Structure 1
Amino acid sequence: MASSTRPRYVIGIDSGSQSAKVTVFDDRGRAMSEGRAALRPYLTPRPGAVEHPDDDLWTSIGEASRVALAGFPGDPADIAGVGLCSIRFCRALLNWDGLLARPVMSWMDERVGQPHADPGAAYVTTSSGYLAHRLTGAFRDTAANCAGIWPVDPETWQWSTDDAELAKFGVTRPMLFDLVMPGHVLGGITRRASAHTGIPAGVPVVATANDKAVEALGCGLRGPGTLLVSLGTYAAAMTAGSRPMPDARAFWTNYASEPGRHLYESNGVRRGMWTVSWYRDLLGEEVSGRARAAGLSPDAYLDAGAEQVPPGCDGLLAVLDWLAPADAPFRRGSLLGFDGRQGRFHIHRAILEALALTVQDASARMAAELGTEYREVIVSGGGSRSDLMMQIHADVHGLPARRAEASSGAAGLGAAICAAVGVGLCTDFDEAVDRMVRPGAVFVPDGARRAVYRRLGEVHREVRRHTDEIYRQTYGVLG
């Protein structure tokens, strides 16, 4: 570890699906200041196309970074490095100068699952590649954000050298950025990027991975006996892995935030915490006004009411297909089992329970295929701030559920850990995690509630078998 009499700081950039968050950390992982900027609503110019408007990813990083630097109590000259984390499964098409030729395609855009087919683009890259270029001027990207429709050798983490393989993806090698391993330097902040972000020119920008992997690092996920539940816009479960497993059925292999390491990730809910926010916003002033009168946020108000609702919500069951998967476009979300007893708090709890039950079922399938057992659950993302959500996860999984201390800022902390390693503040990832990650509160499962959720999980597991046919028929009528 590098030594100095002056304090040293690292910045974690988390460019997410709904906002950009920039946090300045000290070398112990303590947040010194942060800034956040909301992303604008997606553009949907035609069915299947979902785009970020204008240059929204870059604009939001600038806004968030300037706020973070304005609130930073230290000397900007003591900032040693920047870790860059961005949304995975996006696609950016660039001109020869590295600026956008088209709006960035969201991970929800159907084109990102297809071969590249735009002859007007000079470069094709990920969102992290594009943002790295804006920060450094270099045409480099992290290798660990190239999972999915990219011609990467899973053993070497580098581009395929087979021209025929590249052609399957609709690209040639000159169209692709050079790949850099996590924890390695992408380049230095340019003067133009410094003016945009407030980060001093020349500060090294360090490669991280994809957003889920960086979040896992920020939560301290290291061993196979731990399950990490990530409650974000996309909700899924992960555990640590040692090698690619391309033939797995219940999970897929993701690149981790450390060279040579992998994550096994279950299927998830494509609109996880989004559905919680959707319902809260749908209630509007009816809930917002009551929450203000009670001195609570709308989320806390709904949680407080839902805590009085028994497990199982008096028979109300939610199925969280508010965004249908590509292989079942007919699916829709469901709320089943109304009989007059249920109200707004029942619906809120039913959505929270459905998130936990869906993720638990997927993680159990993953464990069975891996032949492993989990000893604890770490919960991260915006949903982990809710004590009710944490207790539901403990009861549904039947395991102690630990909140990540970084909570909704775990991806930013993971990015900062990569930066600390990349600029030599820590000798390796193990040391960086030990220094910078701290555990949060632990929620212990309740036996009686666990028994209810075990039986309810069996019902929830089978519900789509009954609803799929109904939605196939309505899809045929209404689309």
Structure 2
Amino acid sequence: MAEQYLLGVDSGSQSTKVYIFNKKGDVVCSESAPIKPLVARKPGYAEHPDDDLWDSLKAVLQKVMTSFTGNPKDIVGLGLCTIRCCRVFMKADGMLAAPVMSWMDVRSYERFEDDPQIAYTSPTSGYTTFRLTGEFKDTAANAFQWQFPIDLDSWDWSKDEECFSSFGIPKEKLMALEMPGTILGYVTEQAAAETGLPVGLPVVATANDKAVEALGSGIVDKTSGLISLGTYIASMVFGEENRKDPAHYWTNLSCIPHKYLYESSGIRRGMWHISWLKSIIGEEYAQQAAREGLSVEDRLAREAQQVPAGSDGLLTVPDWLAPADQLYRKGMMIGFDERHTRGHIYRSIIEGIAMTLKGHYDSMIEELGIKPDRIIISGGGSNSDLIMQIFADMYGVKTVRNEMNGAAALGSAICVAVATGVYSGFEEAVENMVRVRDVYEPDSRNHKIYNKIDTGIYRDLPKMMKPILQTAYEACQ
């Protein structure tokens, strides 16, 4: 029997990544490309320029199909994972009626204002599905509950007229919804010419990007938590029911039909905080790292390894992107003295990310009454031994790094495996395709230090600094 290959797409906020896997979850080949910087025509706006998301996907698909040495006929399907919480307006012919609004754009969450030019409004997954298949269909699990009238119990458009009308979206301007792990359509001749994909290749529904990442990380029960280290950082646990009105988390649709993810509050701009430090650290430092055969992150990590837990009292609150309705909020670094070096700053940023998220995670699992015995960490940050150990020490449980930390692409491929019958269900696919690579045990001494900082001052720091930041913001206007 010929080998079966699964194509997984991970279209993110900073880049487009495409992987081809075999049915064991091994990477056969992969390609990626950055997307263009967002455009802010007005305060609060954040648009993807031109048709960049589609153009980027086309280019990466062409590259991966060129590098693939197998028989394209043995690729059984394409799983499509795109950025959640974006908003797309489409004309009747399926083309863009306006630039795609990023999840960071305030308009993405505003009530829909009808326009004759707009024939459909959808997340990016619906638009990309059309470009690949010509079908006006989308996954139910990427219809964000604060943007679209989705019923989280039925996984379909709400039949509550009051709920539906509150969004202002005419029913005929919404796409037909399909479950994750089902076929949305097939690659058209035009899409094949633009991407290099085989004509007729099945395009499979996945979910919102965090849910696809959770599936690709192996989150299929309550024994594990997940921390997703991306442009937006959040923690998640598996759920069986739509829990309404929780206090310390929200209920998200899973990548497994009629299952759920409970998701904590998160950190906007997430791992970008590290990118910010790299951008100001200087070209000379980058050149020195290159001469040593290191990336900038690796060199910073080497310096940070020499810094004790707690960074000698240097505390960072990672809040570099203020919400549109709280523009006074700012990130903070406090506690500098003559001991502090680049390594301290780097470690303090990581500790600030881990500690901020731990507060959210603890509140969530306490409300749920669960205590996962391990935390899976996914995303590019999980490549760092330093980050993995800091999270283990901070949370006081073992942290796990899987063989494939590009979990969203793997989750997309798992959906393909289910939709095309490679595996009988999601659990079987996860068992065969997701594997642990490394486990990090917590250091009890460091855990005590972090816990003392966290409960003693850190959790109250944003509240304590609020009036100071408000005054500073007002003074600078």
Which TM-score band applies after superposition, normalised by the shorter structure? Answer: over 0.9
Aligned twin of 1:426: 423
Structure 1 contact 321–331 (Cα < 8 Å) conserved: yes
Which residue, 46, 53, 58 being the options, matches 1:57? 53
Q: CA deviation at 1:314?
A: 1.2
Aligned twin of 1:186: 184
Which residue, 443, 463, 476 being the options, matches 1:465? 463
Which residue, 169, 172, 181 being the options, matches 2:170? 172
Q: Secondary structure at the match of 2:205?
A: strand
Aligned twin of 2:92: 96
Q: Secondary structure at the match of 1:272?
A: coil
Q: Does residue 115 of structure 1 match 2:108?
A: no
Instruction: Determine the C-alpha separation between the residues in 1 that align with 2:288 and 2:468.
Output: 37
Aligned twin of 1:475: 473
Q: CA deviation at 1:193?
A: 1.0
Aligned twin of 1:439: 436
CA deviations 1:53-104 (Å, max 9, x no partner) are: 0000001111111111111121111000000000000000000000000000
Instruction: Determine the C-alpha separation between the residues in 2 that align with 1:477 and 1:197.
Output: 52
Instruction: Determine the C-alpha separation between the residues in 1 that align with 2:160 and 2:93.
Output: 27
Instruction: Determine the C-alpha separation between the residues in 2 that align with 1:245 and 1:355.
Output: 27
Which residue, 52, 68, 74 being the options, matches 1:72? 68
Aligned twin of 1:128: 125
Aligned twin of 2:413: 416
Q: Does residue 138 of structure 1 match 2:132?
A: no
Q: CA deviation at 1:118?
A: 4.3
Aligned residue identity for 2:9: I
Instruction: Determine the C-alpha separation between the residues in 1 that align with 2:346 and 2:247.
Output: 32
Aligned twin of 1:270: 268
Instruction: Determine the C-alpha separation between the residues in 2 that align with 1:14 and 1:241.
Output: 24
Instruction: Determine the C-alpha separation between the residues in 2 that align with 1:478 and 1:267.
Output: 29
Structure 2 contact 48–99 (Cα < 8 Å) conserved: yes
Aligned residue identity for 1:182: P
Instruction: Determine the C-alpha separation between the residues in 1 that align with 2:194 and 2:215.
Output: 28
Aligned residue identity for 1:259: P
Instruction: Determine the C-alpha separation between the residues in 1 that align with 2:60 and 2:400.
Output: 29
Q: Secondary structure at the match of 2:306?
A: coil
Aligned twin of 2:311: 313
Q: CA deviation at 1:166?
A: 2.4
Instruction: Determine the C-alpha separation between the residues in 2 that align with 1:213 and 1:32.
Output: 24
Instruction: Determine the C-alpha separation between the residues in 1 that align with 2:45 and 2:100.
Output: 11
Instruction: Determine the C-alpha separation between the residues in 1 that align with 2:280 and 2:166.
Output: 44
Which residue, 269, 283, 286 being the options, matches 2:284? 286
Instruction: Determine the C-alpha separation between the residues in 2 that align with 1:281 and 1:225.
Output: 38
In the TM superposition, 1:223-262 aligns within 5 A as 223-262=221-260
Aligned twin of 1:360: 358
Q: CA deviation at 1:327?
A: 4.8
Q: CA deviation at 1:326?
A: 4.3
Instruction: Determine the C-alpha separation between the residues in 2 that align with 1:193 and 1:49.
Output: 30
In the TM superposition, 1:155-166 aligns within 5 A as 155-166=153-164
Q: Secondary structure at the match of 1:396?
A: helix
Q: CA deviation at 1:167?
A: 2.2
Aligned twin of 2:343: 345
Structure 1 contact 33–69 (Cα < 8 Å) conserved: no
Aligned residue identity for 2:99: P
Structure 2 contact 114–169 (Cα < 8 Å) conserved: no
Which residue, 455, 469, 472 being the options, matches 2:452? 455
Instruction: Determine the C-alpha separation between the residues in 2 that align with 1:466 and 1:391.
Output: 29
Q: CA deviation at 1:163?
A: 4.0
Aligned twin of 1:9: 5
Q: Secondary structure at the match of 2:48?
A: coil
Q: What do you get for the CA RMSD once the two structures are aligned?
A: 1.0
Instruction: Determine the C-alpha separation between the residues in 1 that align with 2:285 and 2:213.
Output: 31
Aligned residue identity for 1:48: G
- Which 4+ runs in 1 deviate beyond 4 A? none
Q: Secondary structure at the match of 1:209?
A: coil
Q: Give percent identity, aligned residues only.
A: 45
Instruction: Determine the C-alpha separation between the residues in 2 that align with 1:328 and 1:311.
Output: 32
Instruction: Determine the C-alpha separation between the residues in 2 that align with 1:174 and 1:475.
Output: 44
Instruction: Determine the C-alpha separation between the residues in 1 that align with 2:291 and 2:61.
Output: 34
Structure 1 contact 331–471 (Cα < 8 Å) conserved: yes
Instruction: Determine the C-alpha separation between the residues in 1 that align with 2:237 and 2:48.
Output: 30
Q: Secondary structure at the match of 2:21?
A: strand
Q: Secondary structure at the match of 2:271?
A: helix
Aligned twin of 1:219: 217
Which residue, 289, 301, 304 being the options, matches 1:303? 301
In the TM superposition, 1:200-211 aligns within 5 A as 200-211=198-209
5+ residue gaps, structure 1: none
Q: How many residue pairs were aligned? A: 474
